[in-house]
Amino acid sequence: MPTAIQDDLFTPDVIANPYAYYGRLRDEDPVHWNRGYELWVITRHDDLVWLTRHHELFSSAVFKNDPRPAYPPIDESDLGLYDYVRNYQGDQFIQHDRPEHLEMRRVMHSYFTPKSMEAWRPFVREAVKDLLDEAEKKGSMDVMRDLATPLPVLVIAEMMGVPKAERPYIRQLAEKLLYIGRGEYDRMKPLTEGMRGMIEYVSPLVDKRKVDPGDDFISVLARGEKQGVFTRHQVLVNTSLLLLAGHETTINLLCNGTLAFTRHPDQWELLKEDPAGRAKQATEECLRYDSPVISIQRIATEDVEMRGKVLRKDDRVRWFISSANRDPEAFPNPETFDIFRHPNQHVAFGSGTHHCLGATLARVEGQEVFKALAERFPNLRAETEELEYQPSITFRSLKALPVTWH
């Protein structure tokens, strides 16, 4: 008799290897009701794509409209903090449905066009070079601490017009904001500290940009406030969303991708043969094979039938990108890391109207890092196989990745 599928998504086994757990769900029960968290777990590629293309059936306004308590449970004394979190998150543009989402996204898209993101490549290349120069002097590096974290922070801080001296503080705030997808019982305290800190930090910047706009991202949002698209609170929380989404996902792409190469020396050899020519395809396979984002949540707006199950109005629905990207129905040999994979219809950046705004920028950063590592450190290897991941069902985040090249 097969064993029943346990519903705790935060066990050390699931955190360490989500692919085995969600892969089993995908095979045995692709539309799975998780009783513990009162949540539909969706794991197949075609179902995920269908869900994202039917945004009218699945609301993004999760924090405003979900009547149930936080999961996993939080300390009762933190319920007031949870209300603050719901209000804060609820004002992010990704937590809105049409028509508001479309209006807000239009303002932000004016900054995030693929062409304007591609224009950041020389800046990214130079930043990668500087960080690797430092690592080379030391003779070893923790990819997380010395490369994957500082690089996107540099880029996003530059986009926001944040002075150099204040960038470490911005990273500290971002680390607190990451508790949004974590399982710790007391996670509301650091999370609200990060949110309040961000609002405090960004408010004077927005005041300044309203009077004296520049070509940075905060000026774009301030213009949206002038046009009546955003309230002041929405400008502030969307600035902090950019800070978080703009670098956390890229950090994970760089770490998870580097780890994949150290574990697949044959693919590392292929990349080294032509780093400039193969970095693009290699980055797409890193995005598929060990995606930076594990899952995304929605709320059903009406009763919806899927694979013989009925998802009721107001039910929580969570789709798992990491499972969809290894679905054998969508990818031949999905467990194989193959930098020549073509086609590669991964959903690492989501799909449909909420497709990630920063996808081009993340790709540019991934391509430049993997190319530079292959050119400079041909003997790159991980120093240990004992690796730990953050206890999150939102982000696939290593705690550290020490490497050497001697």
Phi, psi of 403 (to 5 degrees): -130, 160
Report the predicted TM-score, pTM, of the whole model to 2 decimal places: 0.93
Q: How far is CA 129 from CA 133, 134, 151, in A?
A: 6, 9, 10
Question: Quick one: pLDDT band at residue 2, thresholds 50, 70, 90?
Answer: low
Could you state, in order of their start, the residue ranges of all structural domains in the chain?
Answer: 12-404
What is the percentage of the chain residues whose pLDDT exceeds 70? 100
Residue 89: the pLDDT is 86
Q: Which CATH superfamily is domain 12-404 in?
A: Cytochrome P450 (1.10.630.10)
Residue 344: the pLDDT is 97
The tokens for 221 are 């949002």
What is the percentage of the chain residues whose pLDDT exceeds 90? 67
Q: How far is CA 211 from CA 199, 223, 240, in A?
A: 19, 10, 21
Residue (of 234, 365, 275, 294) closest to 22 by Cα position: 294
Residue 42: the pLDDT is 98
Distance between CA atoms of residues 218 and 204, nearest Å: 11
Residue 1: the pLDDT is 57
Distance between CA atoms of residues 4 and 365, nearest Å: 42
pLDDT higher than 60, residue 192: yes
pLDDT digits (tens, 9 = 90+) for 117-156: 999 999 999 999 999 999 999 999 999 999 998 898 889 8
Q: Span 209-226, mean pLDDT?
A: 91
Q: Span 255-282, mean pLDDT?
A: 98
Question: Quick one: pLDDT band at residue 73, thresholds 50, 70, 90?
Answer: confident
Q: How far is CA 130 from CA 86, 199, 290, 361, 366, in A?
A: 39, 31, 27, 19, 16
